[in-house]
Structure 1
Amino acid sequence: MERSRSQENEDVETCDSENCCDSSTKPLLTEERMRRKLQFFFMNPIEKWQAKKRFPYKFVVQVIKIILVTFQLCFFAYYRYNHVNYTWDNKITFSHLFLKGWDTTREVNAYPPSAGPLAVYKIDDFYSTIDYAYKGYSDLEKAIGPYSYANEDNSKSDMVLCLKHYKQGIIFGFNESYIFNSEIVEQCYNISEPLDSSFNSKRFVQDEHIKINFTALVESSLKFSIKTVNFKAAGRISPPNCFLFNIEINFNNEDHDGQMIVSLDAEPIRLICKGDVWYKTDSEIESVLRSILNYFVMLICITSFVLCSRAVWRAQQLKVITNTFFIKRFEQPLSQKDKMKFLNLWYIMIIINDLLIIIGSAIKEQIEKESFTTDQWNICSLFLGIGNLLVWFGVLRYLGFFRTYNVVILTLQKAAPQVARFLLCALLIYAGFTFSGWLILGPYHFKFRSLATTSECLFSLINGDDMFATFSIMSNKSVLLWWFSRIYLYTFISLYIYIILSLFISVIMDAYDTIKSYYNEGFPKSSLECFIGETNCEDVISGMYRTDSSDSLGGLMKDLCCCKKIYQSYSTLTSNSQSRTSILI
């Protein structure tokens, strides 16, 4: 017979008042409803569509999201490339203008490096490098780039020389003695002079009575700022961007080995342009379209987040109900493995990528509105890039509904525990080789100079990359260590390529063969899967699942009775806007 929701709620309350928790109340009917509820829960979206003819909202949202997020990422990647390339090219230009001894061979990352580090070795070279930077700064109008001084009247802003040195550091090498205080003191001096003057940093230091003790000097930096405008920021109709570059020429003397490394860094800060307003008016359409895309992506991700969070919460409610049923009906709770079946990790991954994309889209919108003065492009790219990565990983969930593709997913799932244990053992051996190579070969081999480069070198050797170069560039300064390097490299390569990698592949293949045999002979079933049973195509399309999903669960809770709170919590998550259609008695 048909009853309304209010009538059913009255029945549940009556059931509580009459203490109908007796397990003998309609056990067969409760078991059938429980089985049908679980069968529907573990169906894939296609089967649920066939079973209840409900529109697959979550699937459609994910399809729309992957399209929009990919479009957004493509546009942002293009803009970010132009921005990073523009700032890097300016850094190269500044190096040519302000660094003495800079040449084009240092602009390309070559392996092995085509030139050594840019450094100064004499006191006069230190002062001449400062003079060269000052002269380049004074002759800024001669540069091809549209550079200006930082002051509003285009007058030269202050150039500051900062010195970091030990509080005391005097060396008497002739009798092997010294005076030393490890406290570091920093002092900054304004070395700006009129543009038409001939600046001499050595004379300036003497005139100002600045004492530079190079034996105690740890680091020195020369700081100044330059403004510029980029007409072609990121596209044909994009408005120009205005930047302030804070330039710092650094002299690193931390090692006190007679070599002072010279480097240049340029930090870009975006400014609000005060130029052609008419041109900016023409670009409003593009700006509006970008904002619409950003807000639409955030809206679709929020929708996806709500739907997936709701599905995860309802699944946990169903897990509690199922566990209560098993305790009452079979006098045993669900196993931990069966409980984990109610936690859909695909939904968890979707929730995470939704959060990442929402945050990344919000930062992207602020960047495009020029609300940030600092460079937030890298942070934004991390959020959007990782979010997009997880979005595309989510496609595997839908490919898993087909047997051919599901073999790959099930193989990875089956092999995961064995692979984790295997990798732990392999990692311990790898760590031993890494630390040993770094310690012994570091001073004599370019690829073993640091712990990071040592690990990268060994990982490359595992994949057969650049083996001959690794052997050949070993220094001959020590015959003993030259022979050790041969034994070390031959042992590592033989162990990992011929033994460990072969064992690793065999672990994967064993899991693959097991999954193939399961497809032929049947997958092992847990107690939960045995209770659910098989669901064939005829049952799915027969219409037996087309009653409201919460209706069967409501009747189930009425029979179990002891879980009224769980039932009420679950029923609030269901579509309470729909009226009950029918209920089996």
Structure 2
Amino acid sequence: MEVVEPSVTYSSINDRSGHAFWCQSGEDVDPDDVDNFRRKLKYFFMNPCEKFRARGRKPWKLLLQILKIAIITIQLVSFGLSNQMVVTFKEENLIAFKHLFLKGYTDRTDATYAVYTRSEVHDRIYFAVYQYLNLQNLTVGNHAYDKTGDNYTPLSLCQDFYKNGSIYPGNETFEIDPQIETECIEISPLQPFENGTVFPSNFTLDFKRLLSVNIYFTLKAINLQTVRHHELPDCYDFTVTITFNNKAHSGKIKITLQNDVDINECRDWNVAGASPRNIHYLLLFDSFIILACLTSLILCSRSVINGIKLQFEYTAFFLTRYNKEVPWSDRMEFVNGWYILIIVSDTLTIIGSILKIEIQTKNLTSYDICSILLGTSTMLVWVGVIRYLGFFQKYNILILTLRAAFPNVIRFCCCAAMIYLGYCFCGWIVLGPYHDKFRTLNTVTECLFSLINGDDMFPTFKGMQQKSYLVWLFSRLYLYSFISLFIYMVLSLFIALITDTYETIKQHQREGFPATELHTFMAECKDLPNSGRYRLEKDASSCFSCCSRFDELEERLEG
């Protein structure tokens, strides 16, 4: 489509920064000025290599992104190895505590560890307290009691129970005061016991009112495995909680052991051949990453701002010269989504690196938050590499297919999600009492998503209890209809949607993409990048002189 340039009268129009890009009034615009504007637009949409040939501008952002890929990946691997040692040490200590303080515990009984008689409850409590008092003679690790000043921190044995209650199941009568009271006693590691026992005689349990029994104590340990990786060991505080849960009063008291971990810097240390310089090198490297990401953030933000300013200029040009509005599809061409992605990645990296520095200096222990930030930023950095592969036509098809199919995919997923949620709620309320995979809404969504991908089908059918024939029959209709609908129809339509978009993109690559008004306008500029026509002139007499001088200043600042 050829754009016709009629003669119109127009006045000065300023962009938001106050720079006038049309200065004439009552006469036609010089064709050279329009060519300069086309050339300016064409230069904006060039890739870094073409911009280098056009104006000799060094591709600093490209080089910086390549540098970021290397240093951020190194940072993530270093943090991942350190975090792996921390996670392994915490998990192994948790398993060790379960074997030390839970009588008869095995790894296979983790989900169903429970007791059913009063004697078993007392026996497990006695065992946990006795193991704690004899910890120094039992553990094979470097565990020790916690101290507050010169005194050992005692173990706390607490029970939660209803304030008052008279329960007679045989007569189907009860009287209960739902107010909960807590009674605790403290047991010091060096405290002598009555009659040579390890349990005080004044602690009794009323099982009819009993809600839970909780045992709290704190142990200390040092993670020495970091020494082999030239890192200073960390000192750990493990706050262990053993819970006997009797809230259901069903005859089954479930026993769980959990520990909260607090990581601290050791007060005094002496490692042969070690020095604190290693951590200083890591802090210096993290500071360099923050500086690199901050520079990238500034450059990409400036490019986004320049694109928005050029969009206003182009919109004003079309409104003034052709008296027509620019569609939003053309306006969004000036907003580079890859720069937005890099800005988000840089922001996450900067925050994650600051948290990493705080963790290394033992001011914080937010390993999970830091891992999420650094992991997400590294993922986005590597995804951003696709942008530079997209400069080659053979590698660009993935980006084009995703961009073209995205609106249709979102609309399709919204419709499919309504059906999916309907099945989720139905399965949860009907099949939940009869099937473990439908017991909670979260497990229902996971189970159905697995079924969509053809996974775990037979165990799902087989796990349905047959206590109610009506529910069993309903489960068959429910599962068969869901599998048939989503695998044979929804999933097939989803794949067909992507495939059709892919075929359309391949056809456009062979025959050419439909030209928008923006690309048609720029296509009239036939100047090649190495023609020298894109060089900025120092003296310009056209109405673009103010904008040209502003662009020249930006080029100098960037160079």
**TM-score calculated relative to the size of structure 2:** 0.89
Going from structure 1 to structure 2, the CA distance change for 1:156 and 1:575 (only over 3 Å counts) comes to same
What 5-or-longer segments of structure 1 have no aligned partner?
Answer: 1-14, 108-115, 207-211, 559-563, 580-585
Write the mapping of 1:350-429 to structure 2, written as runs, cut at 5 A. 350-372=342-364, 375-429=365-419
Q: CA deviation at 1:361?
A: 0.8
Letter in 2 for 1:345: G
Partner of 1:232, secondary structure, is: helix
Q: CA deviation at 1:446?
A: 1.9
Answering whether residue 523 of structure 2 is matched by residue 545 of structure 1, we say: no
Q: Aligned partners of 2:26, 2:228: CA distance in 1, in Å?
A: 72
Going from structure 1 to structure 2, the CA distance change for 1:572 and 1:317 (only over 3 Å counts) comes to farther
1:7 aligned partner: none
Q: CA deviation at 1:21?
A: 4.5
1:164 aligned partner: 160
Encode CA deviations 1:300-355: one digit per residue, 9 max, x unaligned.
11111010011111111111111111111111131111111111111111101101
Letter in 2 for 1:545: Y
Going from structure 1 to structure 2, the CA distance change for 1:578 and 1:70 (only over 3 Å counts) comes to closer
Q: Aligned partners of 1:477, 1:202: CA distance in 2, in Å?
A: 47
Q: CA deviation at 1:155?
A: 5.7
Answering whether residue 491 of structure 2 is matched by residue 501 of structure 1, we say: yes
Write the mapping of 1:294-373 to structure 2, written as runs, cut at 5 A. 294-372=286-364
1:24 aligned partner: 27
Q: CA deviation at 1:462?
A: 1.2
Q: Aligned partners of 2:525, 2:174: CA distance in 1, in Å?
A: 86
CA contact (8 A) 1:410 1:515 kept: yes
Going from structure 1 to structure 2, the CA distance change for 1:41 and 1:481 (only over 3 Å counts) comes to same
Partner of 1:243, secondary structure, is: strand
Letter in 1 for 2:38: R
Q: Aligned partners of 1:203, 1:41: CA distance in 2, in Å?
A: 84
CA contact (8 A) 1:249 1:262 kept: yes
Encode CA deviations 1:197-229: one digit per residue, 9 max, x unaligned.
3445472314xxxxx543444333211111112
Q: Aligned partners of 1:527, 1:104: CA distance in 2, in Å?
A: 68
Going from structure 1 to structure 2, the CA distance change for 1:551 and 1:405 (only over 3 Å counts) comes to farther
Q: CA deviation at 1:576?
A: 6.0
Encode CA deviations 1:216-275: one digit per residue, 9 max, x unaligned.
443332111111122212634222221111111122233332322211111121233234
CA contact (8 A) 2:536 2:548 kept: no
Going from structure 1 to structure 2, the CA distance change for 1:199 and 1:53 (only over 3 Å counts) comes to farther
Q: CA deviation at 1:425?
A: 1.4
Q: Aligned partners of 1:182, 1:551: CA distance in 2, in Å?
A: 88
Answering whether residue 421 of structure 2 is matched by residue 431 of structure 1, we say: yes
Partner of 1:442, secondary structure, is: helix
Partner of 1:189, secondary structure, is: strand
1:179 to 175, 185, 199: 175
Partner of 2:515, secondary structure, is: coil
Write the mapping of 1:106-505 to structure 2, written as runs, cut at 5 A. 106=109, 116-142=111-137, 143-151=139-147, 156-192=152-188, 194-197=190-193, 198-199=196-197, 201=199, 203-206=201-204, 212-233=205-226, 235-279=228-272, 282-372=274-364, 375-505=365-495
The percent of aligned pairs where both chains have the same amino acid is 38
Partner of 1:489, secondary structure, is: helix
Letter in 1 for 2:263: R
Q: CA deviation at 1:196?
A: 4.9
CA contact (8 A) 2:129 2:198 kept: no
Q: Aligned partners of 1:138, 1:263: CA distance in 2, in Å?
A: 20
CA contact (8 A) 1:121 1:259 kept: yes
Q: Aligned partners of 1:555, 1:170: CA distance in 2, in Å?
A: 97
Going from structure 1 to structure 2, the CA distance change for 1:234 and 1:24 (only over 3 Å counts) comes to farther
Going from structure 1 to structure 2, the CA distance change for 1:65 and 1:23 (only over 3 Å counts) comes to farther
Q: Aligned partners of 1:484, 1:291: CA distance in 2, in Å?
A: 61
Write the mapping of 1:62-77 to structure 2, written as runs, cut at 5 A. 62-77=65-80
Q: CA deviation at 1:123?
A: 2.8
Letter in 1 for 2:235: C
Partner of 2:228, secondary structure, is: coil
Q: Aligned partners of 2:248, 2:478: CA distance in 1, in Å?
A: 30
1:11 aligned partner: none
CA contact (8 A) 2:24 2:543 kept: no
Q: Number of paired residues?
A: 538
CA contact (8 A) 2:452 2:486 kept: yes
What 5-or-longer segments of structure 2 have no aligned partner?
Answer: 1-17
Going from structure 1 to structure 2, the CA distance change for 1:233 and 1:36 (only over 3 Å counts) comes to same
Answering whether residue 99 of structure 2 is matched by residue 101 of structure 1, we say: no
Going from structure 1 to structure 2, the CA distance change for 1:366 and 1:327 (only over 3 Å counts) comes to same
Q: Aligned partners of 2:539, 2:182: CA distance in 1, in Å?
A: 75
Q: CA deviation at 1:289?
A: 2.3
1:54 to 53, 57, 62: 57
Q: CA deviation at 1:97?
A: 0.9
**TM-score calculated relative to the size of structure 1:** 0.85
Q: Which has the higher contact order (CA 8 A, sep 6+)?
A: 1
Q: CA deviation at 1:528?
A: 1.6
CA contact (8 A) 2:345 2:376 kept: yes
2:520 aligned partner: 530
CA contact (8 A) 1:162 1:189 kept: yes
Q: Aligned partners of 2:135, 2:359: CA distance in 1, in Å?
A: 30
Going from structure 1 to structure 2, the CA distance change for 1:568 and 1:85 (only over 3 Å counts) comes to same
Q: Aligned partners of 1:578, 1:308: CA distance in 2, in Å?
A: 11
Going from structure 1 to structure 2, the CA distance change for 1:235 and 1:75 (only over 3 Å counts) comes to farther
Partner of 2:211, secondary structure, is: strand
Flag as ranges the 4+ runs of structure 1 deviating above 6 A: none
1:81 to 55, 79, 84: 84
Encode CA deviations 1:521-552: one digit per residue, 9 max, x unaligned.
2211222221111666x61111111226x988
Q: Aligned partners of 1:360, 1:516: CA distance in 2, in Å?
A: 40
Encode CA deviations 1:414-461: one digit per residue, 9 max, x unaligned.
111111111111111111111111112212212112111111111111
CA contact (8 A) 1:134 1:199 kept: no
